[in-house]
Amino acid sequence: MRRGLLIYDGRDELAMGAAAFFIDSCRNAISEKGLFTVVLSGGNTPIGLYKLLASGDFGGTVDWRAVHLFWGDERSVPPESAESNFNTVRRSLISKIDIPPGNIHRIKGELPPEEAASAYEKSIRDFFGLSSGELPRFDLVLLGMGADGHTLSIFPGTEAACNQEKLAAANYVDKLKAWRITLTLRAITDAVMTLFLVSGREKAEALKEVLVDGEGKYPASAVTGRKLLWLVDKEAALLMGE
């Protein structure tokens, strides 16, 4: 696995860097096989990226007809909810680009959690034509990391952190008193490229634990892939020199 770290001055610069990786990955995939599959991240950090991709400067260079959008995780809420990760992307990106509805593969958070996870896993298996035991090969996976070291909706100590069989799982997060539907770490193992987007001083301790101390106690530490890059701002990287 190839892993690297890029540090940006601020969140805007991080978004610009992520957009460049997105565009390059997209062009390469479409040139090679005619389509591009990307797993989108929730949270606040990637919103700047989505807005850039919706703009003429960046989005105008993307053939959205060949792009297929997937989600890394979702809250157990309907798609119109302000808490929905899908709705965040819809407002900041999807509503502003010309992408076929059939290219949008959202997690149906309005369903009961276990049913939503099963339906999402089936949609991924059907899209990639996977046999039992095979893994999807997403072209690009975008991930975030919380101050507690969680990624996707895989929180420390939760059942999904240990799931090595499914591609998608319903995960009850006791600290939030809420259900989440999430891709498992197994589902993203075979991705062509994985980008962590991390910003904010509150992430500094967890980032140091993951990248410097390497104790592996956080779910973010367990992410593997063909090529893994961390794109972080200076605030998040505050403790990296210690």
| CB 15, CB 49: distance < 8 Å | yes
d(CA 152, CA 182): 6
Let me know the angle formed at the C-alpha of 158 by 152 and 164, rounded to the nearest 5 degrees: 70
pLDDT for residue 225: 87
Tens of pLDDT along the chain (242 residues) come to: 446 999 999 999 999 999 999 999 999 999 999 999 999 999 899 999 999 999 988 778 899 999 999 999 999 999 999 999 999 999 999 999 999 999 999 999 999 999 999 999 999 999 999 998 899 999 999 999 999 999 999 998 887 666 678 999 999 999 999 999 999 999 999 999 999 999 999 999 999 999 987 767 899 999 988 999 999 999 999 998 75
Tell me the domain boundaries of the chain.
2-233
Query: Which tokens belong to 3?
Result: 């892993």
Domain made up of 2-233: CATH architecture: 3-Layer(aba) Sandwich (3.40)
Using a 10 angstrom Cβ sphere, with 0-12 exposed, 13-18 middle and 19 or more buried, the burial of residue 173 is: buried
**pLDDT on residue 3:** 64
Burial class (CB in 10 A: 0-12, 13-18, 19+), 33: exposed
Q: Tokens in use for 217?
A: 């106690």
Strand duo 67-71 + 104-105: pairing: parallel
Predicted pLDDT at 153: 95
- Residues whose CB is less than 8 angstroms from the CB of residue 161 and which lie 6 or more positions away in sequence, other chains included: 154, 155, 219, 222
Question: What are the structure tokens assigned to 10, written together?
Answer: 């601020």
Q: Are 139 and 68 in contact (CB under 8 A)?
A: no
Residues near 152 by Cβ (< 8 Å), separated by ≥ 6? 72, 73, 143, 160, 182, 183, 184, 185, 219
